[in-house]
Chains A and B, each alone.
Chain A
Amino acid sequence: MDLTTIKQAVIEGDDKQLANLTRRALDEGTSAETILNDALIVGMGEVGELFEQGEYFVPELLLSARAMQSAMEVLRPLLSASSYEPLGKVVMGTVQGDLHDIGKKLVAMMLEGSGFEVIDLGTDVAPERFVETVEESGAQVVGLSALLTTTLPAMEATVSALREAGPVKVKVMIGGAPVTSAFASSIGADGYAPDASSAVALARRLVGK
């Protein structure tokens, strides 16, 4: 079977078709690794390019990510663990006192679509909850969001709590309307992302991938 068909189904975000095509390719003797590397990952790469070029918006990106997940469910039992390791684990949340959700949710969805494992703690998250979750999950990155000027101090308190927590050298990235690069530096965060796409690039950089 021509792997271009599978790649195309990823680009079109056709989850039902993609799972069937993946099964068919396996039945015809194509290895799971080949389907993953030469069709699914290549397809998601093209989706990312279409997004960067303004041809795709977030909904298309999410559809393709969902389609890729449906194919991965078929492939996962056949792949060695190292073949499908996530790029990294990210704990996301909107800081204490702030109820704004969608910006953080968008970053979480785009991180997942790019191959990260994401633990989304929701909104109004206390510093100690971030610390506990990082300790329990072994996450390499924490993403903090805030929309209100009055919750920027909570962002600083969360970074301090994470730094004081001990041995885990977790990287912290921050974003939200009132946040700036200078503010990120001033509170000891490892990076600032002005939008969701930049957040994905920043997370990749923070985990060295």
Chain B
Amino acid sequence: MRYHSLTIPDPQDLVFGRAPLPLACGFGLELGAGAVFPEVNFTLPPIAITDATWPDILAQYREMTEGVLLRAQALQVPGIVLEFEHLPPMTSRPQWGAEITAILCQLLEQAHEATGLPSALRATIVDLRHERRPPQLRDGPLWETMRRSFADCARAGGHILSIESVGGKEVFDEALLRGDVRGLVLALGVLAPRDMAWLWQRIAEIAEASGAIAGGDSACGFANTAMQLAGQRLLPEVLAAVVRAMSAPRSLVAFENGAVGPSKDCAYEGPVIKAITGRTISMEGKSATCAHFSPLGNVAAAACDLWSNESVQNVRLLSGSAPQAFAESLIYDCRLMNEALRRGQERWLRDLLVDSDQYQSPQALVISPQASVAIAKAIVAAPTDYQRCIAAAQTAAGLIREAVEQGKLRLSPVETRWLGRIESGLAGLPSDEGKLLEETAAEYANLFDRASYGM
């Protein structure tokens, strides 16, 4: 299926905690039905993952989960999602990933039985395919291992299957460092959507066979890389903002090939996905500073159904363990949003979250509900993935330009120069992707394997 219209055409209706298509999952949890829930993700401190350390690793995952559930119960959270995001060896050895999945699922089930706490477990598998350069995406031992890992985690109790897939990243990284709009469109508008369609059809099949939910993907390796480099002043912010919009059509493809949400927390393109599909989304912002900084900590919450901390190491803080501390932050963030929902004041709170951020940074501007719906409309009006990517980019650049001209958003002269450069780059793109492939062959053709993209 392919989306040609928006499920949420009015930005006023794009709000946290409510999705036109709520999702029941896990142990009695319903997402998008009038409440926002915390999604807690935790990871290991420095430790080698080996046979010798494996018992300690299992003990740490058990300890982190028990600690988080204690805070959840103490603060009477109405529901919770845990994300078990694999480290590479946990996907490379599928039995390892499945073993941890089973432990987390068992602890959630026990808490549900003991206290009635609704919950779900998301299992996020590592995209191993880019171990090889150029990546071999559609067959070979790396894909076979990933497929087994998805299936084993689903069988072990993972309720929601997700991935941060990286098809197209081999070209994207090069194009991003060059600031080359043509290369970025090649990666995000031509290559990535082809891989997403292929990959998500298979993830959806695995999910269906095991009774799990095909969640969603994230353009983390693309747009968040740009955001982090912009945060270090290595790339212009306007480029990162436009890349964010360009990544949305690629993530949408998952939902056109079997994904039903919730989308991944680090997918800041989530509001665009929600506007188009009506599906639930997870987001992260101010309470994910344990993992990374960002210029969009409040606005990111505007349309979320799950609110996440991205990732936190299992280290000791004055209060308790870091996973417990960040779980508590998320729980209070969610309490505030849920109280606003209870009073019917969710739009008022949503607008505060948006207005406090959106003109501080072009990256915040392009994920506001207003901008997300504008970008979403441009995407569904375009006939091909290639044209969707260009339309999303042009809309984002136009929104930034308009905010600057209205005096709402201030850009430095060097950022303004880059905005012009991006606009010119987009205007100069050929009308079809075949021509783009030809024009960029000298620079990028050696970086990717055409067969991996069905070419």
- Tell me, in angstroms, the Cα distance from A196 to B414 when the chains sit together: 21
**A99 pairs with B179, CB closer than 8 A:** no
Interface presence of A101 (CB below 8 A):
yes
Nearest B residue to A63, CB-CB: B178
Interface presence of B47 (CB below 8 A):
yes
| Complex interface: stretch among B229-237, B275-283, B330-338, B398-406 | B229-237
Q: How far is the CB of A180 from chain B (nearest CB, A)?
A: 11
Nearest B residue to A53, CB-CB: B414
Q: How far is the CB of B340 from chain A (nearest CB, A)?
A: 34
Interface presence of B43 (CB below 8 A):
yes
Identify which of B173, B233, B412 contacts A102 (C-beta below 8 A): B173
Residues from chain A with Cβ under 8 Å of B236 in the complex: 57
Interface presence of B44 (CB below 8 A):
yes
**A57 pairs with B235, CB closer than 8 A:** yes
Residues from chain A with Cβ under 8 Å of B173 in the complex: 101-102, 105
| Complex interface: stretch among A1-9, A18-26, A144-152 | A144-152
**B178 pairs with A196, CB closer than 8 A:** no
Which chain A residues in 107-125 approach chain B with CB under 8 Å?
109, 122-124
**A105 pairs with B48, CB closer than 8 A:** no
Question: Given A62-B178, A122-B133, A124-B131, are A97 and B46 also a contact pair (CB < 8 Å)?
Answer: no
Which chain B residues in 205-244 approach chain A with CB under 8 Å?
225, 229, 232-236
Residues from chain A with Cβ under 8 Å of B46 in the complex: 149-150, 152-153, 178
Which chain A residues in 174-209 approach chain B with CB under 8 Å?
178, 195-196
Residues 316-360 of chain B: 1 if any A CB is under 8 Å from the residue's CB, otherwise 0?
000000000000000000000000000000000000000000000
Residues from chain B with Cβ under 8 Å of A105 in the complex: 173, 177
Which chain B residues in 234-262 approach chain A with CB under 8 Å?
234-236
Interface presence of B49 (CB below 8 A):
yes
Interface presence of A29 (CB below 8 A):
no
Residues 14-53 of chain B: 1 if any A CB is under 8 Å from the residue's CB, otherwise 0?
0000000000000000000000000000011111110000
Residues 396-432 of chain B: 1 if any A CB is under 8 Å from the residue's CB, otherwise 0?
0000000000000000101000100000000000000
Nearest A residue to B92, CB-CB: A97
Interface presence of B7 (CB below 8 A):
no
- Tell me, in angstroms, the Cα distance from A96 to B65 when the chains sit together: 28
Residues from chain B with Cβ under 8 Å of A63 in the complex: 178
Residues from chain A with Cβ under 8 Å of B71 in the complex: none
Q: How far is the CB of A137 from chain B (nearest CB, A)?
A: 20
Residues 38-76 of chain B: 1 if any A CB is under 8 Å from the residue's CB, otherwise 0?
000001111111000000000000000000000000000
Question: Given A195-B232, A196-B234, are A59 and B179 also a contact pair (CB < 8 Å)?
Answer: yes
Identify which of A54, A56, A101, A150 contacts B47 (C-beta below 8 A): A150
Residues 137-181 of chain B: 1 if any A CB is under 8 Å from the residue's CB, otherwise 0?
000000000000000000000000000000000000100111110
Q: How far is the CB of A91 from chain B (nearest CB, A)?
A: 17
Identify which of B128, B233, B313 contacts A57 (C-beta below 8 A): B233
Residues from chain B with Cβ under 8 Å of A60 in the complex: 179
- Tell me, in angstroms, the Cα distance from A195 to B231 when the chains sit together: 12
Interface presence of A41 (CB below 8 A):
no
**A123 pairs with B131, CB closer than 8 A:** yes
Nearest A residue to B87, CB-CB: A150
- Tell me, in angstroms, the Cα distance from A97 to B46 when the chains sit together: 13
Interface presence of B454 (CB below 8 A):
no
Residues from chain A with Cβ under 8 Å of B130 in the complex: 99, 101
Question: Given A57-B234, A122-B133, A195-B232, are A148 and B87 also a contact pair (CB < 8 Å)?
Answer: yes
Residues from chain B with Cβ under 8 Å of A59 in the complex: 177-180, 235
- Tell me, in angstroms, the Cα distance from A149 to B179 when the chains sit together: 30
Interface presence of A136 (CB below 8 A):
no
**B177 pairs with A149, CB closer than 8 A:** no
Q: How far is the CB of A95 from chain B (nearest CB, A)?
A: 11
Which chain A residues in 71-115 approach chain B with CB under 8 Å?
97-99, 101-102, 105-106, 109
Q: How far is the CB of A64 from chain B (nearest CB, A)?
A: 12
Which chain A residues in 38-62 approach chain B with CB under 8 Å?
54-60, 62
Identify which of A54, A62, A101, A148 contacts B414 (C-beta below 8 A): A54
Nearest A residue to B49, CB-CB: A150
Question: Given A149-B44, A150-B49, A154-B48, are A99 and B233 also a contact pair (CB < 8 Å)?
Answer: no
- Tell me, in angstroms, the Cα distance from A88 to B295 when the chains sit together: 38
- Can you report 23 residue pairs joining A to B where beta carbons are below 8 Å apart? A54-B412, A57-B233, A58-B177, A58-B229, A59-B177, A63-B178, A97-B49, A99-B88, A99-B131, A105-B173, A105-B177, A106-B177, A106-B234, A149-B43, A150-B43, A150-B44, A150-B46, A150-B47, A150-B87, A153-B48, A154-B48, A178-B46, A195-B232
Chain B interface residues (CB < 8 Å from chain A) = 43-49, 87-89, 126, 128, 130-131, 133, 173, 176-180, 225, 229, 232-236, 313, 412, 414, 418
Chain A interface residues (CB < 8 Å from chain B) = 54-60, 62-63, 97-99, 101-102, 105-106, 109, 122-124, 148-150, 152-154, 178, 195-196
Given A57-B418, A58-B179, A150-B49, 20 other A-B contacts at CB below 8 A? A54-B412, A56-B414, A58-B229, A59-B179, A59-B180, A60-B179, A63-B178, A97-B89, A101-B173, A106-B177, A106-B234, A109-B177, A124-B131, A150-B46, A150-B89, A152-B46, A153-B46, A153-B47, A153-B48, A195-B234
Q: Which 7 A-B pairs have the closest CB atoms?
A: A59-B179, A153-B48, A152-B46, A58-B234, A149-B46, A102-B173, A150-B87
